């Protein structure tokens, strides 16, 4: 049930369909110390044994509501819905918004918690609200986008005040009119001569899938959790200092300031570039190794890795980047 394909066990596995199921489980005292899991695409079981209860949603319901007076098309997707399947479906319906997230493994519940993102887009850009079950009260609750506290691979659902909530579904606001997101350089180049009205969401989806296939392993062939490390964010001054020490400007992207009081916005560095230029290419540990064409990805080589192998390789990469650039990498993947 994880894309890493590592050996792992849990104390109990519960699969459910509806909030009513969750209410029954709560009444039976079976929702204590549970860990919700989606497509298992961003989880590393470090020791191969989790003694608690793993909770998975089997509901894959999708409803499309085109009658919204705001002009946006509202799409409800249950937590168990496959993220890429929903991308394909909304693209086929001519709805804009999800196309840049095409190919990301996982399910909608996990996407809402993790705020997944790729190619210039993030899940939070689409969320109207998230529907959750609160085990402490037994009630369903709706969390509006602003209250989800979305950040870079972060949300309220990863913090104490929200981590006990169980995401059961998400309502997304998509556009029926062309809104291509060309923020990613390769997409801007691919469609530079094409006007917005000549494009379809499927055009963008197909290009995204082509880009992903060229760089990332198919989990069915080489197990992984996709991008293993977050892109580190440093101050503009720190970026200049690191660049001066390295002898040339290190690649980075300006992070838009959330306040007008900020004189110099922070810079998001490329973790892949740092790993590659720190000399980590070819690193391996036991059955785990770096993917040759994308150093952000740690793979389960030939299906022989353990959680301990992955953690050991992760630590070695972090230490090497720290030694070379004095920059601290942190994992995007959740460690259990």
Active site residue ranges: 153, 227, 332
Which tokens is 60 given?
């894959």
Q: What SS3 class is residue 268?
A: strand
Total residue count of the chain as it appears in this document? 336
From CA 11, how far away is CA 52, in angstroms rounded?
5
Structure tokens at 229: 């490390």
171: number of Cβ within 10 Å: 18
Distance CA 188, CA 37 (A): 35
DSSP state letters, 148-197: G--BTTB-GGGSTTTTT-EEEEEEEEEBSS------SHHHHHHTTTS-GG
**Three-class SS string for 106-160?**
CEHHHHHHHCCEECCEEHHHCEEEEEEEECCCCEEEEEEHHHHCCECCECHHHCC
């Amino acid at each position: 049930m994880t894309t890493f394909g590592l050996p792992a066990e849990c104390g109990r596995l519960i699969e459910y369909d509806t909030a009513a199921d969750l209410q029954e489980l709560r009444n039976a005292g079976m929702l204590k110390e549970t860990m919700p899991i989606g497509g298992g695409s961003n989880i590393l079981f470090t020791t191969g044994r989790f003694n608690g209860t793993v909770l998975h949603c089997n509901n894959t319901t999708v409803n499309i509501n085109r009658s919204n007076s705001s002009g946006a098309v509202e799409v409800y997707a249950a937590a168990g819905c496959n993220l890429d399947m929903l991308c394909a479906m909304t693209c086929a319906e001519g709805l804009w918004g999800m196309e840049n997230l095409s190919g990301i493994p996982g399910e909608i519940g996990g996407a809402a918690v993790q705020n997944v993102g790729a190619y210039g887009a993030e899940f939070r850009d689409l969320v109207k609200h998230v529907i959750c079950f609160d085990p402490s009260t037994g009630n369903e609750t709706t969390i509006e986008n602003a209250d989800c506290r979305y950040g870079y691979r972060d949300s309220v659902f990863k913090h104490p005040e929200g981590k006990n909530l169980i995401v059961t579904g998400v309502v997304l606001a998509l556009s029926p009119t062309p809104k291509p997101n060309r923020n990613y350089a390769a997409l801007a180049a691919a469609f530079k001569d094409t006007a917005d009205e000549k494009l379809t969401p499927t055009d963008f989806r197909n290009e995204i899938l082509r880009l992903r296939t060229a760089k990332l392993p198919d989990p069915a062939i080489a197990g992984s959790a996709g991008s293993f490390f977050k892109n580190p964010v440093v101050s503009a001054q720190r970026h200049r200092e690191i660049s001066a020490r390295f002898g040339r400007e290190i690649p980075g992207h300006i992070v838009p300031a959330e306040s007008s009081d900020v004189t110099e916005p922070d810079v998001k560095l490329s973790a892949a570039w740092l790993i590659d230029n720190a000399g980590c290419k070819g690193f391996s540990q036991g059955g785990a190794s770096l993917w040759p064409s994308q150093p952000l990805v740690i793979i389960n080589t030939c299906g022989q890795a353990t959680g301990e192998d992955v953690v050991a390789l992760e630590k070695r990469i972090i230490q090497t980047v720290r030694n070379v650039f004095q920059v601290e990498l942190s994992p995007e993947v959740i460690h259990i």
